[in-house]
Amino acid sequence: MPYITIPDGTRLFYKDWGAGRPVVLSHGWPANADAWDAQMLLLVQSGFRVIAHDRRGHGRSDQPASGNDIDTYADDLATLISTLDLQNATLVGHSIGGGEIVRYISRHGSARVAKAVLIAAPVPLMARTETHPDGVPLEIFDGIRNALAGDRSQFFRELAVPFYGLNRLQAVPSQSLIDAFRAQGMTGGILAQYACVREFSEVDFTDDLKRLRMPTLLLHGDDDQNVPVEMSSRPAASLIPNATLKVYAGGSHGLIATHASQVNEDLLAFINA
């Protein structure tokens, strides 16, 4: 399996399929690169070079005790992009993967980036603060950390239900989605997953979003129970100079699986525009 080694010695697993213009996919929490199966298959069959890595501490990558923060995630992504010498790339991030690519562009510039796609990303800021009173109370994120520390296997099984909107009346039951979500989560390390809760809740991406000058597509479901669109992609789109926001009716947080055909259609149209 292919790995790159980060300067601190951490090895990152990645998939690198096909040839042509590169598309780089950054996964959400607590998943790994397998979450992008539907998108990777379509993109490679459509003539693109598609790359997806397991974030440090997640999936098949190493599980170091240090570096489990958004700045290091962005630096790891920079190492991957430079090592593979990717040019004119489209960066696509789901959930905290969206925060990762936004911070990458903010820290490392856009010389290698043509376009960006943020899917259900927790930007600009999720947590409630004195200057962000409409955010989510920190107690909610403390509850996530406590559930991880208590029984993360059971927590992932339960979290998958609202993640994919399976608790809605119109939802089609899918034990396979629940099983895949839990399986991906359990390949990661509890320390990294615990630390990452802060990164998707308390990190403020406001200034990073303002630095995105390339065409940027935001995709979000209007029934996202984990990252509500009104506190994320709607304000984020207003901060990005060249942004297009598409909201999926009835869409859950797990759009890349539950609405894969629609996401794929929008991705291809945006990349090829």
- Catalytic residue from among 224, 232, 252, 266: 224
Residue 134 appears among annotated catalytic residues: no
Residue 253 appears among annotated catalytic residues: yes
Report how far Cα 224 is from the mean position of its chain's Cα atoms. Answer: 14
- Catalytic residue from among 58, 220, 253, 259: 253
Greatest Cα pair distance, the chain, in angstroms, is 49
H or E stretch including 3? strand 3-5
DSSP codes joined into one string, 112-154: TEEEEEEES---S--B-BTTBTTSB-HHHHHHHHHHHHHHHHH
Q: Which amino acid is at 141?
A: F
Rounded distance between C-alpha atoms, residue 156 and residue 44, angstroms: 30
Residues 6+ apart with CB under 8 A from 189: 57, 58, 63
Residues 6+ apart with CB under 8 A from 140: none
- Catalytic residue from among 53, 75, 76, 95: 95
Residues 6+ apart with CB under 8 A from 63: 56, 57, 188, 189, 191, 192
Are 48 and 18 spatial neighbours (Cβ–Cβ below 8 Å)?
Answer: yes
Q: Which residue has the tokens 């597509």?
A: 217
| Strands lying side by side in the sheet with 11-17 | 3-5, 11-17, 49-53, 22-26, 89-94, 113-119, 216-221, 243-248
Residue 224 appears among annotated catalytic residues: yes
Residues noted as catalytic: 95, 224, 253
